[in-house]
Structure 1
Amino acid sequence: MSTPEEDENGHDGLAEGPEGDEPMSFWDHLGELRSALMKSALAVVGGFVLCFIYATEIREFLALPLHDAWREAGLKGEPQLQVLAMMDAFITDVRVAVAGGIFVATPVIFWQLWMFVSPGLYKREKRFAIPFVMSSVLMFLAGASFCYLLVLPWTIQWLFGYTQSASADTPVIYNLTLNDYIRDTTKILVAFGSVFEFPLLAAFLAAAGVIDHMTLLRFWKFAVVIMFVIAAFLTPPEPVSQMMMAVPMIILFFLSVGVAYLLSRPHRRATEQALARIDEGDEP
């Protein structure tokens, strides 16, 4: 009678579960989920408070692409952001603090997510915990930076140019509001940061055995359509920023396919070994 070979995780097919794997009731899982959500929420609240304290500095930082685009468009003077209601400045600072709080809390959120699923992972897979959390921050920062340095200036400059060309014979006065500008800016920054997390999400689901590369490839056409819809919804209503968001999303999707292929191999091997044992007449 043949003896199955051990897989990369040091386990004999699927006969043994992950190290330390013990049966848990539904309520145990629910309790762990509640604990993870509470800790993540507290991290967001802490980040919110920190960012609210520095909301003025963050607003000035977010306004820099507007100033750059204003000068590139050849407009006179400096752009001014108007406040139309007494509560606008406060509401704007709250919006800035919420977006900043989510970013600051990103390491805690992903750490809690990893800890929630880690009991179901093999020892080899648990080694990815710290790289997973660090990558979540770096990928979000990469997406937000890409948006801040390229997408925002180009989008604002294109909109200025379009307005000027469409009203060449009529002088145009820009009445930009603080609330609208910060709302649109934070929304698109968070959107780009979240989009750049796609490969990490694929890695997480593949490591947990939820998906593999074939699952993603099977629906790639639908995924591309959905990405263009998401880009149209999250970006200003003009083609430049929509394309600048949709194209990276598509590239990141196919990068996610490669990540899923690499990380789902242990699960595929374990499944193949278990099926081979059944075919040979061994106990599963």
Structure 2
Amino acid sequence: MTPRIPLRIARSPVLTSRFPLAENPQASPSSEQPLVAHLLELRDRVLRMVLVVLAIFLVLFPFANDLYIMVSEPLRSALPEGSTMISTKPIDPFLIPFKLSLQMAVFLAIPFILHQFWAFVAPGLYKHEKRLVIPLLVSSTLLFYLGVAFAYFIVFPLVFAFLTSTAPEGIEMATDMGSYLDFVITLFFAFGIAFEVPIATIILVWMGVTTPESLRSKRPYIIVGAFVVGMFLTPPDIISQTLLALPMWVLFEIGVFFSANFVRKREDDSEDAGVEPAMATATAGSSSATPAPEPPMGSEIDPAIDYVDPDRFVPLSDDEMEAQLDAIEDEEDEDDGPSVEERFRQVQISRDVGDVEQARELLYEILEEGNADQRRVARNILAQLDTP
């Protein structure tokens, strides 16, 4: 048997434009280029975040001492007369305001940071996901800032007044400025994250992890859990623990309320979407002249041959299916030329004997007369013939 001879023959521009060859996987040396492009985009966005934080820090640093005085005001106002804060390390008077300025820069840059993350993942989301994510990002940012403000204006005065009043007689309270900053930053994050409870609730319902009814049935456990979280995230006093647990409970109820409305709206949209195909099927008989819709862009479907409107599709019975198959067989028998399957067999015989040109002519005929699957197979065979 004569071995197969791989030949590269110039193809007609008309045939090339009508029947493009399948891409050779070995001919694309940059198969990882999309991943590299995503990593480069992520790097650029992270650099923008760092530059924005640095710019805000440079603006705040000249006012670092004023910022620390403002942050320490709740404790200094609660200290007994004559008491003050102290620094136990020589570098703390410079380092602690510097650290506070950097942390404040990150706090203020949170909207920009979230926007950069959103811009990075947005191209991969559906439209309905984008419509939901944007309000969640905005509301989560506002709730975080609301939690920080709640801690500073309401929690701190009550907590520090309670702590200073419980000091034993003869003990002067002199808090280190570094310890105080670590304490208030921890509370800022604790209250900021605790105020994200409605967002977490809506996301869990949206992902199908739970339902509003299930959350309502677990309300007693949620209340106990809120007090447990408040016990771990706040100082060991009942005031700060309660001031964190109660807002978490209220915000949980708000999240359940909005998630229930979200689920109700999604069900209404699903019902509306389900009515349209049913109406289209019911009116299919009276609108037989309606043209078939166009297939999606980039599809290999031929609208004149291959496309079937799914809304107007009616399954055939067994008898109708047999009649259709018999009619197709009769048409193939009456046809003067060979069938597509016969041409595929002739292509294989031509390749075995080394007649590549004859195989190409048969494949071009299949591309003109075959269905979508047969044309796809023909293009793959042509690609093999063109591969050296």
TM score, norm. by length of structure 1:
0.69
1:243: Cα distance to partner?
1.0
In the other structure, the counterpart of 2:69 is 60
Structure 1 Cα separation of the partners of residues 37 and 272 of structure 2: 29
1:22 aligns with none
- The match for 1:193 is 192
Aligned to 1:126: 131
Cα distance between partner residues in 1 of 2:115 and 2:143: 15
Contact 2:85 2:177 in 1 (8 A): yes
Q: Secondary structure at the match of 2:72?
A: helix
Cα pair 1:92 1:183 within 8 Å, conserved: no
Contact 1:211 1:264 in 2 (8 A): no
Question: Does 1:148 pair with 2:147?
Answer: no
Offset of 1:135 from its aligned partner?
3.5
After TM superposition, list the pairs within 5 Å mapping 1:41-80 onto structure 2.
Answer: 41-70=50-79, 75-77=80-82, 79-80=83-84
- Which runs of 5 or more residues in structure 1 are unaligned? 1-24
In 1, the alpha carbon distance for the partners of 2:87 and 2:98 equals 15
Offset, 1:53: 3.7
**1:158 lines up with 2:125 in the alignment:** no
Deviation at 1:133, TM superposition (A): 5.0
Following the alignment from structure 1 to structure 2, what is the Cα–Cα distance between the partners of residues 118 and 213?
A: 30
Aligned length: 248
How far residue 38 of structure 1 moved from its aligned partner, in angstroms, is 5.2
The residue matched to 2:166 in structure 1 has which SS? helix
**Partner of 2:13 in structure 1?**
none
Q: Is contact 1:52–1:97 with CA below 8 Å preserved after alignment? A: yes
User: Shift of residue 28 of structure 1?
Assistant: 8.5
State the shift of 1:208 in Å.
Answer: 7.2
Aligned-partner Cα distance in 1 for 2:211–2:56: 34
Q: Secondary structure, in 3 states, of the residue corresponding to 1:82?
A: coil
Deviations 1:102-159 (A, max 9, x none): 3211211332344324742436953873x55554443233222211111101101101
- Find the counterpart in structure 2 of residue 110 from structure 1: 114
The offset of 1:278, in angstroms, is 11
In the superposition, relative to structure 1, how do residues 46 and 265 fare at CA in structure 2: closer, same or farther (>3 Å)?
farther
Q: Which has the higher contact order (CA 8 A, sep 6+)?
A: 1
Distance 1:98 1:268, change over 3 A: farther
Q: In structure 1, what is the equivalent of residue 252 of structure 2?
A: 253
| Aligned partner of 2:92 among 80, 88, 91 | 88
Offset at 1:26? Answer: 9.4
Q: 2:242 and 2:91 mapped to 1: Cα distance?
A: 35
Structure 1 residue 274 displacement after superposition: 7.5
Q: CA RMSD in A?
A: 3.9
Give the Cα separation in 2 of the matches to 1:138 and 1:35: 26
Match of 2:179 in 1: 180
Counterparts in 2 of 1:40 and 1:148: CA distance versus 1, 3 Å: same
Instruction: Judge conservation of contact 2:76–2:85 (CA < 8 Å) in 1.
Output: no
Listed one character per residue, the Cα deviations across residues 208-256 of structure 1 (whole Å, up to 9, x for unaligned) are 7776535644655554444333322221121111111111111111211
Instruction: Look up the equivalent residue of 1:65 and give its one-letter code.
Output: P
Amino acid at match of 2:77: D
The answer (yes or no) to whether the contact 1:120–1:208 under 8 Å persists in 2 is: no
Larger Rg: 2
3-state SS, counterpart of residue 86 of structure 1: coil
Q: CA offsets, 1:10-35, max 9 Å, x none?
A: xxxxxxxxxxxxxxx99489647666
Instruction: Calculate the TM-score normalised by the size of structure 2.
Output: 0.52
